[in-house]
Chain A
Amino acid sequence: MPLHPKSDRRPRPKLHPPHRERAQKRTREPGRLMSYLTMLFFFCAFTLLFLKDLAWQGFALALLVPALLALGINLLPRLFPADRLLLSLANFLCALGVLVLYATSPALAYRQAAYYGVGLVAMVLCIYMVRAVRSWRLPVLLLYPVSLGLLALPLVIGRETNGATNWIYLGGLSFQPSEMVKISLLIIISYAMTRRRMLLWLTFSVICLALLMLQKDLGTALLYYGVTLMLFYASSGNLALTGLGLAGGAGAAVMGYRMFAHVKRRVAVWLNPWADYNSAGYQIVQGLMALASGGLFGMGLGLGSPRSIPVYETDFIFAVICEQFGLVFGMSVLAMYVALIWRGATIAMQARRSFHGLLAMGATLMLGLQTFVIIGGVIKLIPLTGVTMPFVSSGGSSLLSSMCLIGLMQGVDSLNDDDLDEDARLAGLGRKH
């Protein structure tokens, strides 16, 4: 033992107090700044809207939405096996929908916020479903007739809305079965393609497409067809048959154009909306004018005239965003979708089982294609079809199905993490985190 304390020349280990180490870990975490920025954005935006009319609801939302976001982004991944980046992006887009709807028609915003809460619960259920179900044979056998029955229901008891008979009204509730069937379509197709049961997925897709065509729901039919074809290519790699399917789809589109008058009219409006800007082309023209009047930085939140666009709360919500926040922000929203799709594709590529890979890829493709179809329609890149913008557009069915798709992706991601942990355990390295 040294006589004098200074005679001990060994360097002492630097000891940080635990709270400091925790603080360092927090700052290193990449998602923390993103959640702070998201909360700041929505706090400022709702406060601004509160200042407009000094309604207490605006102030309540200015406090509630950032608090819910903090809860959703930071607390949920601690309670459930959820991917924080996916959750952050989906939460941002959902909250953006509530904000834009509150700026235009507050009653829709409250309803959307309630659906958002239900969507979070549905997402957690989907995560556990993917994790818990080991054999998908029985669920697929059950889902097959139930989904087809549900999809056929609007033809029997449905009511025509905006030219398509795809809504069911039961009591005070209304919902769109095709949104719910999206989830079962992905499960059935992924299962059948993994088990190489061509007849199973082919009959299901064809019957679904036929029912959607009978309902005149062309946008959803396009989504179902596109996702089935892309999943077929992802599972088989057969370029020739995929090309054949693509050619068949193009042929059907041409036939539909020649046979149905409403398809002809829609294409004509897409080609030149200004020719009939007071009736058929009114919606597209108003959307384009909103995009143009927004400019680079927008007219300002709560300003402009978004209500002049027909169906501004669902199909044309991107035009409303661009009018109020500008093209720069609109491009940022698009980039968020790109980040979400990138993340989904990464999860699908990392999956160990082909069923999980196809499921995650299908969910990603569904969200990506839906975003492309609606934004392409709004900016007049492709003919307008009546689909919603995922997470943002008003509508419970759409929001619920989008959250379920995110839940499927998150379930697969959590299984990927489990597999990697298992690999580390088997290699004798132990868990990393």
Chain B
Amino acid sequence: MPETVFEVLSQAMRYFFALLGVMLVWRAMAWQLAERRTRHRRLQRLPDAGMIGEMVVVRGCDDVAEGTTFPMPYEGTLGSARGSDLTLPCRGVVRRHLDFSFQSRCGVLLYVSPGQTCVLDGVTLNARSKPRQHPMVHGSVLEIGGCELRLRLFEGLETGKKRLSAKKAERAPSVDETVRYVPPYAPPGEQTAAAKPVKRRQGHAASSKE
């Protein structure tokens, strides 16, 4: 093609390319917003999304009454700081007392901060304790500061057997092996209540459908 013709064509096309560039950006932003809306709508139907259950206060302190429930995320921190995922403003609880993380087919693993302690089902844990050997399962009782909290997991979540050894914890147990732990020292009246898993709530959109 002659050079002059190409120049004219190329200079004419530059407006088209600029327009396409702007349109592409507009579509990308619109796409992002649309995805955001879709996800938001979906989350509205799942108010418990991102949670694995709740911690029920069995024995409280001045600021935390008995029977109070704290929603439990998959992972987070427990402490007296307001920014904690589980804020427990009790005496004996430091700002970041422990970190926890849920591992499917194992349970909630506790990573106690250096210098702090807590008691899980009668076993004292500190920063040196191996979290995989003492996983928190459904019905486990955690004593921290002056408080006592019981974990209630949502129905359908799989946790492993109580106190798996490190080797066993690496090999995930099969679904048949998974059990729901009932603490043996729980009062007889509470034993069944503690063993009963929590049902997930459904959002308004889902309930209106039903």
Please tell me if the beta carbons of B18 and A329 are within 8 angstroms of each other in the complex: yes
List A contacts of B111 (CB < 8 A): 195-196
Q: Is the CB of A51 within 8 A of B1?
A: yes
Return chain B residues, CB-CB under 8 Å to A195.
Answer: 111
Which residues of the other chain, A, contact B32 by a CB distance below 8 angstroms?
85, 339, 342-343, 346
Binds B, one of A36-44, A124-132, A252-260: A36-44
Q: Are A85 and B35 in touch, CB under 8 angstroms? A: yes
Rank and list the top 4 A-B pairs by shortest CB-CB distance, nearest first.
A300-B10, A332-B21, A34-B27, A329-B21
Instruction: Report A77 CB to chain B, min CB distance, Å.
Output: 13
Q: How many residues of B are in contact with the other chain, CB < 8 A?
A: 51
Tell whether B62 is near chain A: CB-to-CB under 8 Å.
no
For B13, B31, B48, the residue with the greatest tally of chain A CB atoms inside 10 Å of its CB is B31
A300 and B46 contact, CB distance less than 8 A:
no
A92 interface residue per 8 A CB criterion: yes
Contact indicator per residue, chain A 335-361, by CB within 8 Å of chain B (1) or not (0): 110010011001000101110000000
Known: A300-B13, A352-B74, A429-B206. 11 other contacts (CB 8 A): A31-B27, A48-B10, A48-B13, A297-B14, A297-B18, A300-B11, A301-B14, A326-B18, A339-B28, A342-B32, A428-B200
B49 → A minimal CB distance (Å): 4
Q: Which residue on A lies nearest to B51, using beta carbons?
A: A423
- From A328, A425, A432, B22 is in contact (CB under 8 Å) with A328
Mark out the residues of chain A between 230 and 287 whose CB falls within 8 Å of any chain B CB in the assembled complex. 237
A33→B42 CA distance, assembly (Å)? 24
Partner of A38, one of B24, B36, B42: B24
Contact B21 A333 (CB under 8 A): yes
Q: Give A413 Cβ to nearest chain B Cβ, in Å.
A: 10
Type the 1/0 row for B1-38, where 1 means its CB is closer than 8 Å to any CB of A.
Answer: 10000110111011111101111110111111011100
**B202: CB under 8 A from chain A?**
yes
A420:B49 contact, CB within 8 angstroms: yes
A89 within 8 A of B: yes
**Pairwise interchain contact A302-B10, C-beta atoms closer than 8 A:** yes
**Contacts known (A31-B31, A51-B1, A51-B6); A427 close to B23, Cβ less than 8 A:** no
In chain B, residues 171-210, which have Cβ atoms closer than 8 Å to a Cβ of chain A?
200-202, 206
One of B63-71, B115-123, B136-144, B151-159 at the interface: B151-159
B binding-site residues for A, Cβ under 8 Å: 1, 6-7, 9-11, 13-18, 20-25, 27-32, 34-36, 39, 42-43, 45-46, 48-50, 73-75, 83, 99, 101, 111, 154-157, 170, 200-202, 206
Closest CB-CB distance, A257 to chain B, in whole Å? Answer: 38
Cβ contact within 8 Å between B200 and A237: no
Q: A52-B1, A352-B74 are in contact. Are A336 and B25 (CB under 8 A)?
A: yes
Decide yes or no: A37 and B13 within 8 Å by CB, A85-B28, A428-B200 being known contacts. Answer: no
Instruction: Give which listed residue, A37, A54, A427, contacts B200 with CB less than 8 A.
Output: A427
In the bound assembly, the distance between CA atoms of A237 and B15 in angstroms comes to 46
Contact assessment for A92 and B50 in the assembled complex, using a CB-CB cutoff below 8 Å:
no
A30 x B13 contact (CB < 8 A)? no
Complex contact B75–A196 (CB within 8 A) = no
Tell whether A45 is near chain B: CB-to-CB under 8 Å: yes
B31 touches A325 (CB 8 A): no
A325 touches B155 (CB 8 A): no
Docked Cα-Cα span, A299 to B13, in Å, equals: 10
List B contacts of A336 (CB < 8 A): 24-25, 28
Is A303 an interface residue when CB atoms closer than 8 A count as contact? yes
Q: Is A426 at the interface (CB under 8 A from chain B)?
A: yes
Kindly name the residue among B21, B25, B50, B75 whose own CB sees the greatest number of chain A CB atoms within 10 A: B21
A381 within 8 A of B: no
Q: Contacts A37-B27, A85-B35; is A424 near B14 (CB within 8 Å)?
A: no
Q: Is the CB of B74 within 8 A of A54?
A: no
Which chain B residue lies CB-closest to A423? B49
